[in-house]
Amino acid sequence: MMGYLRTAVLMAAMTALFLGIGALLGGTGGAMIALVIALAMNAYTWWNSDRAVLRMHDARTASGPQGKALERLVHDMADRAGMPRPKVYILQNAQPNAFATGRNPENAAVAATTGLLTRLSEAEIAAVMAHELAHIRNHDTTIMTITATFAGAITMLANFAMFFGNNRNNSLGLIGTLALMVLAPLAAGLVQMAISRSREYEADRIGAEICGNPLWLASALERISGLAARIDNDSAERNPATAHMFIINPLHAHARDRLFSTHPDPANRIRALREMAGEQTQGLAGPWG
């Protein structure tokens, strides 16, 4: 419940930031033009977000023995969790990782890298995909689509600040306008990252329940975080705005990747899962044991 409350507060902050920038710019003309353009962009992004992200990472529909086995695993867990079956994709990528995308549970997809399928055990793979199913069931993919489009709208509105900087209702002045152009997108990005981090713990908890064993997910996170720190994810490096979608931060090759964190510390997530396992009073063997 606290996770949902925190997410609601952060999304309210994102909305307030957007409205506040419009108010600071003053004239309704500039703010309304930016709003209309932002809404059009947001509508397009909302409808095409899953296809766009999958295309960025050159995702392919799961096929062949390995792909079909993954698809059966995901669909079986989705059926057990009482949720729609997502489409399943594979990324030709040596870094073990995975993500979920889609505007709602009825139009969702999960994707796993070839590195995940070859370097982790079957139980660990099941736990990772259960985590991604949890994101879908919790509507996190929807939330992150909304926050991403809000962040884009705020950046656009901030860029309009210079154009409308001479508006008589704008009391910011040149220095204030320049500061707004820099700080507003930064603030939006920080709020977006905070929302992403807040959703990971809840997805870990629900994912552990879906796969039946918190320790499987703890083991998977430990292995993925260690390997991801040494193996490049070129498609993620080319598209850093999608980093928050992966189960573990896929970025490390460039200095800019270390400026902000889109994920909680893996050690904290692993500790929480082990505590969850210790609190269970019954056997931990799940439906995949």
- For the entire predicted model, the pTM comes to 0.77
pLDDT at 282: 46
| DSSP conformation class of 5 | H
Residue 71 has pLDDT above 50, yes or no: yes
Residue 57 φ/ψ, nearest 5 degrees: -100, 15
pLDDT at 223: 96
pLDDT at 142: 76
Give dist(CA 146, CA 149) in Å, integer: 5
Residue 92 has pLDDT above 60, yes or no: yes
The enclosing H or E element of 98 equals strand 98-102
More confident residue, 35 or 85: 85
Active site residue ranges: 132
pLDDT at 118: 96
Nearest to 22 by CA among 7, 37, 32: 32
Taking only the tens place, the pLDDT of each residue in 230-281 is 999 999 888 877 888 899 999 875 544 444 566 888 999 999 999 999 876 4
Where in the chain are the domains?
A: 2-279
Taking only the tens place, the pLDDT of each residue in 128-166 is 999 999 999 998 887 776 676 666 667 766 666 656 555
200 appears as a binding residue in the annotation: yes
DSSP secondary structure of 109-137: EEEEEHHHHHHS-HHHHHHHHHHHHHHHH
pLDDT at 195: 67
% of the chain at pLDDT higher than 70: 60
Rg (CA), the chain: 20
User: Which stretch of 11-15, 17-21, 280-284 has the lowest confidence by average pLDDT?
Assistant: 280-284
More confident residue, 58 or 42: 58
Which residues does 204 contact at the CB level (< 8 Å), separation at least 6?
A: 131, 134, 217, 221, 269, 272, 273
Which residues does 118 contact at the CB level (< 8 Å), separation at least 6?
A: none
pLDDT at 175: 60
Q: Are 98 and 75 in contact (CB under 8 A)?
A: no
Structure-block tokens of residue 169: 């209702």
| Mean pLDDT, range 122-126, rounded to an integer | 97
| Mean pLDDT, range 33-58, rounded to an integer | 74
148 exposure class (CB count in 10 Å sphere: 0-12, 13-18, 19+): buried
135 appears as a binding residue in the annotation: yes
131 appears as a binding residue in the annotation: yes
More confident residue, 33 or 208: 208
pLDDT at 289: 40
Taking only the tens place, the pLDDT of each residue in 203-236 is 999 999 999 999 999 999 999 999 998 999 999 8
| Mean pLDDT, range 5-17, rounded to an integer | 64
Nearest to 194 by CA among 102, 98, 260, 269: 260
User: Which stretch of 45-59, 82-96, 183-197, 230-244 has the lowest confidence by average pLDDT?
Assistant: 183-197
